[in-house]
A = this chain, B = another copy of it.
Amino acid sequence: LDLGRPALRAFLEPLLQGQQMKRPKVPKGTRDSGPEQMAIREKAFSTILEVFRRHGAVGIDTPVFELRETLMGKYGEDSKLIYDLADQGGELLSLRYDLTVPFARFLAMSSNTQIKRYHIAKVYRRDNPAMNKGRFREFYQCDFDVAGTYGAMIPDADVIKVLTEILDELRIGRYVVKLNHRKILDAMMAVCGVPAEKFRTICSAIDKLDKETWEDVKEEMVSQKGLDPAVADRIGDFVRADSQYVAIRAQPNEVLTLLRAHAELSQHPQAQAAFQDLETLFRYLTAMRCLDRIHFDLSLARGLDYYTGVIYEAVLTETDRVGSIAAGGRYDGLVGRFSGSDVPAVGVSIGIERILTILEEQERARAQGKIRATATDILVASIGSKMLESRMEICAELWAAGIKAEFLYKENPKIQPQIQYALESGIPFMLIIGGDEIAQGIVKVKNLRAQTEVVIQRAEMVSRLIADINEEKQVL
């Protein structure tokens, strides 16, 4: 019994002290991503990045923690969900809650206030986790924002176009982008008779209409929030699922025409400004061929304090398991809260964890449970003994040519476990050498899918393999 072995010591020590060795685990609400999840995640990120770059965006990155004062007062009631770091001397820090406030802080520190940027990074919320729905305490967001003064509604249209391209290219199934305008919400509440100080809290009640019935929402407005029931009913005329507006939400321009015919709303200056915005936006989205993805939905009332214009949220229409999968809007006042000078901005945040939950299920079904986690093109195998260094030499030659190659980490493996490994990992080709092949300066190459084998001169090995691998990728 070698008590010097650290594992043995670590195992025995607690036992000797009458304790059990603790099973290691990850913090509540977080998870490791294993190889298969990572393969799906990296593919999704690369699709998303491609769309961001296709629209001319630049990347930025910010620290995972911010000065606590940077985050304070930006998230309303949700501020209680912020993770604080311990006070270990020095500055008071908190983990970022989203990527929008750090972006506003970045802009306020920057001399360049015209920027179209993306940022893919993790954010942190001490929320109640619901892992199977894709709700975690640590999760990635993929954000795209345009800051600066431009022609009215042009960046807003580009942001929405980016969102629809991403959701189309991720192939996660049918979706719609629900869209509304903060100023219409404010005007609607004003003409319905909601007292100004109750706008926000009534907004957050309306926002629950995607999960709760109108009766429940009205009950919350009246009993909990002290709204006159007659006022609540007037709001209901706009936002109930069976209201004339919501019924035709899939025709954004028709909703707009109907609202413009509303006697009081049409006279409200905030509503008039919003009508102008939306008319322009819908024209641009038509030109960009994505208005058909839009639902102009008066019941969309996103809770965050900082939105000032158009707001939107994407939801899948064939499943209600994951809730919203992307959300965003215009926030013209946020940067000014850091620098004192306003920088208008509009953006969208993709809720990638929920999307990955869907993609992983799809991929498992498609691949019958077996998702490929490596990208290896060829396994360099051998028959007979003392071939390890030959396998290494061949691999080094293939790697130098950019070919993805592996060999078994064993001195003298039998051929069967090598074939087994290639099949299990989904590696399409095997290169096989033995003493004879080395002596003759040749290699054998097997295509495992097509079950063919060819003999190649060692001098032509690299060029032939590059051609064969590319051809196989066309087939798959």
Contact = CB atoms under 8 A, between A and B. Distances in A.
A55 B407 CA distance: 9
Interface size class of A (residues with CB under 8 A): 35 or more
Nearest to A379: B56
Interface in A112-146: 115, 117, 122, 124, 126, 138, 146
A219 interface: no
A406 B116 CA distance: 11
A337 B59 CA distance: 40
17 contacts: A7-B335, A24-B108, A25-B67, A28-B90, A31-B63, A32-B63, A50-B402, A53-B376, A54-B402, A56-B376, A64-B124, A86-B86, A86-B87, A146-B409, A148-B409, A151-B411, A284-B392
Interface string A156-198: 0110010001000000000000000000000000000000000
Interface of A: 5-8, 10-11, 21-28, 30-35, 38-39, 41-42, 50, 53-67, 69-70, 83-88, 90-91, 93, 95, 105-106, 108-110, 115, 117, 122, 124, 126, 138, 146, 148, 150-151, 154-155, 157-158, 161, 165, 283-284, 287-290, 333-342, 373-376, 388-390, 392-393, 395-396, 399, 402-406, 409-411, 425
Contact of A26 (B10, B57, B63, B122): B63
Given A54-B402, A150-B409, A403-B54, A91 B289 contact: no
B392 A151 contact: no
Given A22-B69, A60-B38, A374-B56, A6 B337 contact: yes
A173 to B, nearest CB: 20
A392 to B, nearest CB: 4
Most interface-central of A42, A157, A288, A390 (chain B CB within 10 A) = A288
Given A59-B35, A61-B33, A151 B54 contact: no
A64 B338 contact: no
Given A54-B404, A376-B56, A392-B287, A66 B26 contact: yes
